[in-house]
Amino acid sequence: MHFAYKNKMIYSSIIYIILLTILIPVQKIYAKEAYVYCSTKDRHWHWLENKSVNVSGEWVYIYLEPTKYYQFFKVNAGKDLVIDLKNRCKKEFGQDFIYAQPAEYATDYWHVFGYADNSLEPGIYDYLGDFPRFR
């Protein structure tokens, strides 16, 4: 009986290692860049310059409860860059497109830009658990 238990433990360990090896590459790695889209207060949106504008920074999480959070993209360049992006949004899409917002991909949740002091730009954002916008 001891031999069967030992084999079961070895097989369990092998399966665990195989699953871990398979699943690790699937985990979402948060990029140091975000695309920029422009939006209205009513959640109408367009990619800024056909999704050709990238901003460098990092994704930051703000936890409201243990299982509920939102995230923002902390830009490296600061407020002047975001002001410029907002002006470019208005120029490209009209005065109703008042928000420049970050995204990693088209079906991402709504996020806002933020800064090193954790202050946030106005914009639309979703909490974890809300449905992402589908584009």
Backbone angles phi, psi at 7, to 5 degrees: -65, -40
CB 70 within 8 A of CB 62: yes
The pLDDT value given to residue 62:
82
The pLDDT value given to residue 118:
84
Encode pLDDT of 1-24 as tens digits. 555 655 665 655 565 455 444 433
Mean pLDDT over each residue of the chain, to the nearest integer: 80
What stretches of the chain adopt beta strand conformation (E)? Answer: 33-39, 45-47, 54-65, 68-75, 99-103, 112-114
pTM for this structure? 0.70
